[in-house]
Amino acid sequence: MNRFPLRRAAATAFMAAAVLALAAAASLATGPYAIRPSTLVQTLLGSHAGTMAAQVLFTIRLPRLAGACIGGFALAIAGLVFQALLRNPLASEYTLGVSSGAALGAVGAALLHLRSPLATPVAAFVGAFLTIAIVLLLARARLAFETNAAIMIGVIFTALANAALSLVLSVLSPYELQAFFFWFMGSFAEAEWPTLLPAGVVVLVLSAVVYALSWKLNAVAVDEQFAAQVGVNVELVKMILLVAASVLTAVVVSIAGTVGFVGLVVPHMARLAVGVDHRLLIPVTALIGAALCVAADLLARTLLAPHELPVGVVTAFIGVPVFVALMRRPER
Amino acid sequence: MIELRDVAVRYGGTPVVRDVSFRTERGAFVGLVGANGSGKTSLLKVIARLFPPAAGVVWIAGREAASYTRSELARLVAGVWQRVPLSFGFTVRQLVLLGRTPHLPPLRWETRADLEIAEEAMEETQVSHLAERPATQLSAGELQRVFIATALAQQSPILLLDEPTSFLDLKQAARLSALLDRLHGRGVTILCASHDLALLRRHASSVVLLAEGRLDCTGRPEALLAPAVLQRAFGIGAEEWYG
């Protein structure tokens, strides 16, 4: 019989889904306008149309919840892909500079006053893809320790991109500053249905593409030469997955700015639970990522209410200790 | 089964193999011998299409190697290479099952038959007891046997071996030798790069001697021990060789 840990993966996915459901329910009910559970359920089922509760739910909290779900789902998968392709547990869209590159692209589009609804996500993707291309090309030029070099160059590129963003922010008026600030630390507060719906479709389609390649990704995560030996077209698989992970990152950046540590930490949590088979890891990672982002957004809204924290601050405060703890444990 | 015509390999412009031509018949066991840096591994990797030749052509089973898809080639050629660095904790069973990759239809998980083939491969290389261990925790010799098991699970009619005994103790080397006998008996074509002249003398029907990236000579393994050949290929006199 198949010895892959299917049961453990199913149990972990169930737990992650349960945490996601609880955090989602709390997220919808909690806020300056509290909604009782019974009212919440009835409003979601279509009663109370036109009431304050319906207004708050459908125009503010549900889009925000959907944004956090999409964001966590996409960032976790992107991080997993980067780690597997580079065979480096420190790789993620954040440490490789892809998030910062995407934010730089999005800010560039805003500064140029590009009005098209596609301008921000496309500019974010261009920034993300150019960043990963430059980082990998520079890393390849070093030949030895290519994957470690990619992380080092990514960290340096992140510092450069953040300096460029700081430069932009420092010359803006206070009014403009408010609008640009969230590119730095991330927030799902600006999430709106017109951008969320296409973002959700793109994330689902790309997640399906990544999953379809998870068989090949297993071999690539061992070693590229090994993967070629067992019949994987390594260059093609790498290119498709790098584009997919870059687009996933860009989609999240275009709706929420840079949200760090999700793509770095969540794949490790999932690996600890289900092992290293990407056919199981991808769905579990995505669910944990969504649960983490929804919970982090809830904390960001409520911890210092009525003040709101950037969600990136919360994911950093959760992510760093979790990462340190995971690194001290042997991996399955 | 395998034919090389005027194959050259370069690393960043530096030639490491030049104008090598030879052919092996189906079911043959051919040794690839030469000093360090003579181009043995490079030649094996060109045959496995892990990188393209700078010049020349490789033919496998009647077709140019370049004309096969990756999966087609993997169903024809398996390889065991030195030094595969591992970053994630794949278990031994998972690594061996990856040898079934070229046989799996798209999006299909391994069948019971695939699992049985992997079990047999692990038994043949005596790694069954390590099946659930992360490969990152194994010794170099154990890992070598795991990758041999992966190659066996590929069930390819051609097996390329790059220094297969380099990390094995005497007992495991003897077991590998017995395994090579069985594979040879099943008609597997084996091309083995090795410094282990005793192994090649035991198994190889012929050897290809490389010197400074060029084909020096081909012949029976015993011919390697001729004083002139030892001197030319390895730079040692017959009295210096301990074998």
User: Which ranges in A90-213 belong to alpha helices (H)?
Assistant: 98-111, 119-141, 146-170, 174-185, 193-212
- Percent share of chain B, pLDDT over 90: 64
Best to test chain A binding among B88, B115, B132 (most A CBs inside 10 Å)? B88
Q: Does B21 lie at the interface with A, CB-CB under 8 angstroms? A: no
Cβ neighbours of residue A30 under 8 Å, at least 6 residues apart?
A298, A301, A302
**What local confidence, expressed as pLDDT, does residue A83 receive?**
94
Distance of residue A52 Cα from the nearest chain B Cα, in angstroms: 48
- How is residue A63 written in tokens? 């889009």
B89 vs A229, A230, A276: nearest CB: A276
Q: Which has more confidence, A167 or B79?
A: B79
> Which pLDDT tens digit goes with each residue over B93-108?
999 999 999 999 999 9
Distance from CA of A313 to the nearest CA of B (A): 29
Contact: A87, B112; criterion CB under 8 Å: no
Least confident of A128-142, A311-325, B13-27: A128-142
Per the CB < 8 A criterion, the answer to whether A220 and A99 are in contact is no
β-bridge pairing B29-34 and B189-193? parallel
Mean pLDDT of chain A: 88
Structure tokens at A208: 């399906």
Q: What is the pTM of this model?
A: 0.91
Using the Cα atoms of residue A118, residue A119, residue A124 and residue A126 in order, give the sign of their dihedral: positive
CB atoms within 10 A of CB B179: 17
Q: For the beta carbon of residue A193, count every other beta carbon within 10 angstroms.
A: 13
Q: Over 60: is that where the pLDDT of A3 sits?
A: no
d(CA B103, CA A221): 19
Contacts of A1 in chain B (CB under 8 A): 112, 115
Neighbours of A54 (CB within 10 A): 18
Taking alpha carbons only, the member of A226, A210, A286, A241 closest to residue A85 is A241
B95 close contact with A: CB closer than 8 A: yes
% of residues, chain A, pLDDT over 90: 48
Partners of B31 in the β-ladder? B192, B207
**pLDDT exceeds cutoff 60 at A308:** yes
CB distance A4–B94 less than 8 Å? Answer: yes
3-state secondary structure A222-257: HCHHHHHHCCCCHHHHHHHHHHHHHHHHHHHHHHHC
Q: Which residues of chain B have a CB within 8 Å of the CB of A331? A: 88-89, 134
Over residues B24-49, mean pLDDT: 92
User: Which of A110, A267, A96, A284 shows the shortest CA–CA distance to A180?
Assistant: A110
Number of Cβ atoms within 10 Å of the Cβ of B139:
10
pLDDT band at residue A167 using 50, 70 and 90 as cut-offs: confident
Question: Looking at residue B172, what is its pLDDT?
Answer: 87
Q: What percent of chain B has pLDDT over 70?
A: 98
Q: Which of helix, strand or coil describes residue B158?
A: strand
Collect all residues of chain A within an 8 Å Cβ-Cβ radius of residue B92: none
Residues 186-215 of B with CB under 8 A from A: none
Q: How far is A225 from chain B (nearest CA, A)?
A: 7
% residues pLDDT > 70 (chain A): 94
Instruction: Assess contact for B151 and B159: CB atoms under 8 A.
Output: yes
Answer whether B101's CB lies under 8 Å from A232's CB. Answer: yes
Q: Which residues of A touch B153 (CB under 8 A)?
A: none
| pLDDT at residue B243, as a whole number | 58
A214 contacts A89 by C-beta, under 8 angstroms = no
In tens, the pLDDT along A66-91 reads 999 999 999 999 999 999 998 988 88
Quick check: helix, strand or coil at residue A156? helix
- Specify the pLDDT at position A117: 75
Tokens 């009525």 sit on residue: A306
Average pLDDT of the segment spanning A50-71: 93
Tell me if B94 and A218 make a contact (CB, 8 A cut-off): yes
Q: A161 or A283: which carries more pLDDT confidence?
A: A283
The 3-state DSSP class for residue A331 equals coil
Could you tell me whether strands B158-162 and B77-80 are parallel, antiparallel, or unpaired per DSSP bridges? parallel
Give B154's contacts in chain A (Cβ within 8 Å): 230
* Range with the poorest average pLDDT among A146-150, A156-160, A205-209, B107-111: A146-150
Structure tokens at A174: 């206070």
> What is the pLDDT at residue A332?
47
pLDDT value at residue B109: 92
Split at pLDDT 50, 70, 90, the class of B35 is: confident
pLDDT at A320: 87
Residue A327 three-state SS: helix
Mean pLDDT along residues A144-151: 68
Contact assignment for B74 to A231 by CB distance below 8 Å: yes
Q: Give the residue-averaged pLDDT of B171-198.
A: 91
Contact B48 A228 (CB under 8 A): yes
Judge whether residue B219 has pLDDT over 80: yes
Average pLDDT over residues B79-89: 85
Who wins on pLDDT, A106 or B22? B22
Report which of residues B142 and B84 the model is more confident about: B142
User: Least CA distance to A231: which residue of chain B?
Assistant: B71
Say if the Cβ atoms of B109 and A279 lie within 8 Å: yes
Question: CA A282 from chain center: how many Å?
Answer: 13
Q: Which of B74, B94, B102 is opposite residue A277, by nearest beta carbon? A: B94
Give buried/exposed letters for A242-264 (b at 16+ CB in 10 A, else e). Answer: bbbbbbbbbbbbbbbbbbbbbbb
Mean pLDDT computed over B186-205: 90
> What Cα–Cα distance (Å) separates residue B164 from each residue in A72, A222, B133, B175, B199?
45, 19, 22, 12, 10
Q: How far apart are CA A85 and CA A83, in angstroms?
A: 6
B135-138 long-range contacts, Cβ below 8 Å, gap at least 24? B135/B86, B135/B89, B135/B90, B135/B91, B135/B92, B135/B95, B136/B86, B136/B88, B136/B89, B136/B90, B138/B92
Write the pLDDT tens digit of every residue in B132-148: 999 999 998 899 999 99
Q: Which of A87, A216, A229 sits opposite B48 (nearest CB)?
A: A229
Residue A329: pLDDT above 90?
Answer: no
| Least confident segment among B45-49, B166-170, B223-227, B237-241 | B237-241
Q: Are A242 and A299 in contact (CB under 8 A)?
A: no
Contact A230 B131 (CB under 8 A): no
B104 contacts on A by Cβ (under 8 Å): 215
Look at residue B235 and tell me whether its pLDDT is greater than 90.
no
pLDDT of residue A267: 95
* pLDDT at A200 (0 to 100): 96
Does the pLDDT of residue A247 top 60, yes or no? yes
Nearest to A331 among B71, B89, B115 (CB): B89
Chain B residues whose CB is inside 8 A of the A218 CB are 90, 94, 98
Contact yes or no for B74 and A222 at CB 8 A: no
- At residue A144 the predicted structure's pLDDT band, cuts being 50, 70 and 90, is very low
- Residues facing residue A255 across a β-bridge: none
Contact A231 B79 (CB under 8 A): no
CA A28 to chain B, closest CA, distance in angstroms equals: 37
- Any residues with CB less than 8 A from the CB of A269 and at least 6 apart, and which? A288, A322, A326
Work out the pLDDT band at B85, boundaries 50, 70, 90. Answer: confident
Convert the pLDDT of each residue in A209-246 to its tens digit.
999 999 999 999 999 999 999 999 999 999 999 999 98
By C-alpha distance, the chain B residue nearest A216 is: B101
Contact A3 B131 (CB under 8 A): yes
Q: For residue A182, what pLDDT is reported? A: 67
Mutate to test the interface with A, among B101, B147, B162 (most CBs of A within 10 A): B101
The predicted structure's pLDDT at residue A155: 87
- Assess B91–A contact: CB distance below 8 Å, yes or no: yes
Q: Measured between alpha carbons, how far is A317 from B4 in angstroms, rounded to an integer?
A: 59
Is B48 in a helix, a strand, or coil?
coil
Q: What integer pLDDT is reported at residue A1 of this predicted model? A: 38
Q: How confident is the model at residue B8 (pLDDT cuts 50, 70, 90)?
A: very high
pLDDT above 50 (res B29)? yes
